[in-house]
Amino acid sequence: MKETIWEGVFQGKAANVVVEPTTNGTLYHIDLLESGFLHDIIGGVTSFAKAHPWITGMMAGWAWSAIEKYNKAKRDAVRFYAKDMPERIRYQKMVDDLVRKGGYEVVKHGYEGTGYNWELYKRNF
């Protein structure tokens, strides 16, 4: 009995990964789709990209810029989590010192779960 375990894009084409049990073990194979919902979406996207290369390039640039901004924000973020009150006092002093001297600003703070959470981002000078 064949079972589809994944449906997505493989080398720019809609594909399924199908698993089939055999007497010697399990056989995995990739079926390229000739029809279906995913095939139609990929066909529409590629035809739009071919018809409007300038707009596609502009959107790709925006996507790349968004990915770079996300990675920079993730790299510049500092998070602290205190489980109990002595830890919270110690982290609060550290956070205050980073804000005062280190060029960080507190973006989020508050209770989360059973402790207290701070999220700081590096300021852009």
Contact 91, 82 (CB under 8 A): yes
Domains of the chain, by residue range, sit at 3-71, 76-122
The pLDDT confidence band at residue 21, using thresholds 50, 70 and 90, is confident
Q: List the one residue out of 15, 23, 65 whose CA is nearest residue 5.
A: 15
Q: Residue 33 has what pLDDT?
A: 76
Segment 26-76, tens digit of pLDDT: 888 888 877 777 777 777 888 888 888 898 889 989 999 999 998 988 888
Q: Is the pTM of this model over 0.85?
A: no
Residues 6+ positions from 5 with CB-CB distance below 8 Å: 17, 18, 19
